[in-house]
Amino acid sequence: MYLNCLEDVKNITKELVKVPSIVKTDGETKCAQKIYDYYKEIPYFKENPERLQMVQTIDDEIERHIVVAHVKGTKGDSNKALILMGHLDTVGVDDFGTIKEYAFDPDKLPEALRKLNLDEELNADIDSGEYMFGRGALDMKSGVAGHMYLIKYFSEHPEELNGHLIALAECDEEDNSHGILTGLKVFKDIKEKENLEYVAAINADYSTPYHAKDENRYVYFGTIGKLLPSFYVVGKETHVGQAFGGLDPNLVVAELTRLIELNPELCDEAFGEVTIPPMSLKQADFKEGYTVQTALAAYSYYNFFTHSMSPKDVMEKMKEKAEEAFDNIIEYTNSSYKEFCEKGGHTYTKLPWKKRVYTWDEFYNELVDIHGDKFKKHIRDFADELNKKQPTMDLREFSAKVIEEAWKWVEDRSPAIIIYYSSIFSARIEVTGKDEKEKNLLDSVNESIDFVQKYSDKPIVTKMFYPYISDSSFMTISDDLEDLKALENNMPAWGTKYVYNVDDILAINVPVVNIGTFGKDGHKVTERVHMKHTFENVPNITYNTIKKILA
């Protein structure tokens, strides 16, 4: 069956886009309320109000909410449950500049963009009438809108479902994933109350063409993983007039970036698909204001995508690069100093720097060996107090503060690199058909694509790994649980500001597919969603997949 849903999904999308819901603002709750109010007017939820929830996020530094809508089918008595998921938050709009007032107005934004005369492709897409513009239109309120339409449809046709359909609209996907983490607990609660067996999850996050001539539309089984390997570098301060008397930590960080950023050796390949190489997201020192003394310490962190590598694997590779960087800097500074001495007629003596590289796990345990429980208690109390006093502190900054405090306990003050993780863990997920749930999902999606393909003028293609960071990463775990210890042991914020709750994830533990929105320029001023594919083809692939899984 093919649903004529384009206009309905279009209208819902437009209404959602009009509600600004920038991450870490009260707009997230306002958008959640908009979604909740939509569901609340549906007769099914008037008759079954317990199946509709608006839930405040747990252990969050600000007040925001998720929405969970649950339809029970009447076709049979199956306890199988399928999850629909999508995030309601967006990135900011400062990049819109002088047309910022139109960022959430799909009707007025296209003409405002046209006046900027940005490029011919953009103007052609405006003229085509095939796209809806606006912050969040592509990423990913149109995906949430499609799920809202389907929940309404199945609430009116529960006889088509043998099982349970549960839709989550979550906040905070663009930052620290408090929405999905709260959602997992709600799913677990529903599972226990109704004795459910979760069998699959469908996300609707966005995708874009891979290149200018790419005509394909994409469906992704599984998702890419993401880690944030970070480096805290302690140097040896000196006056700029005695440049070779110290070791500048910024020089070490620069060498780390040279060795890591865009390095194809660090791409992760699996199932014929290759990740984008690492990129620097931050490098800075800790100096406040201007002085002619070099910095005491600096830090950097890098986006690292994974298809097969675990946190343990990535940490090992990062330690290799840190050791290589330290060796290179020792060689470079000595070579430079020797040449300087020759030019100035000075006596050259080898500089005192020795390679010194730790993982946070190694560094922490060395200090425990020296200071015992006194150090363990101090660092734990310090982290707890810091989180209590400054609950909104960025997770990356928090991690650096903990290491800075630990360094105060060090007896050997010579330069060092400490490697650690400082952001939330987005797990890689592969769906290969290794068990009945995966095989059923693969077959159901592929059959649904084959059916919908005849209604699409572009090829609909499947790939293994969704290429962007998404909340799909919280649906199951493909890594060996023992390898995940490297995440816990190398994260200074673990147990105070962050925990990767394996138990909550394993309580759901379902294969995930991304049947999502399609368009161009996600996270850009020119963000736009292709209406025919996203408002019609995508809901129909999802609809038919649901019917096959909950047959």
pLDDT, residue 419, reads: 98
- Span 336-342, mean pLDDT? 98
- Span 8-19, mean pLDDT? 98
The structure's pTM equals 0.92
Which of residues 176 and 316 earns the better pLDDT score?
A: 316
The 10 Å CB-count burial string (b at 16+, else e) for 289-304 is eeeeebbbbbbbbbbb
Does pLDDT of 89 surpass 90?
Answer: yes
All structural domains of the chain: 6-224+426-475+510-549 (3.40.630.10), 225-421 (3.30.70.360)
Backbone conformation region of residue 151, classed left if phi is above 0, alpha if psi is from -120 to 50, else beta: alpha
Is 434 buried (19+), middle (13-18) or exposed (0-12) by CB count in 10 A? exposed
Kind plus residue range of the DSSP H or E element containing 416 = strand 416-421
3-state helix/strand/coil string of 363-377: HHHHHHHHHCHHHHH
Tens digits of residue pLDDT in 498-528: 989 999 999 999 999 999 999 999 999 999 9
Tens digits of residue pLDDT in 190-218: 999 999 999 999 999 999 999 999 999 99
- Span 446-463, mean pLDDT? 97
pLDDT band at 117 (very low <50, low <70, confident <90, very high): confident
pLDDT band at 176 (very low <50, low <70, confident <90, very high): confident
pLDDT, residue 285, reads: 97
Does pLDDT of 451 surpass 90?
Answer: yes
Does pLDDT of 473 surpass 90?
Answer: yes
Q: Tell me what percent of the residues of the chain surpass a pLDDT of 90.
A: 98
Kind plus residue range of the DSSP H or E element containing 229 = strand 229-234
- The DSSP line for 448-490 is HHHHHHTT-SS-EEEESSBSS--GGGGS---S-TTTTHHHHHT
Two structure tokens written together for 17:
């886009």
Q: Tell me what percent of the residues of the chain surpass a pLDDT of 70.
A: 100
Neighbours of 348 (CB within 10 A): 13
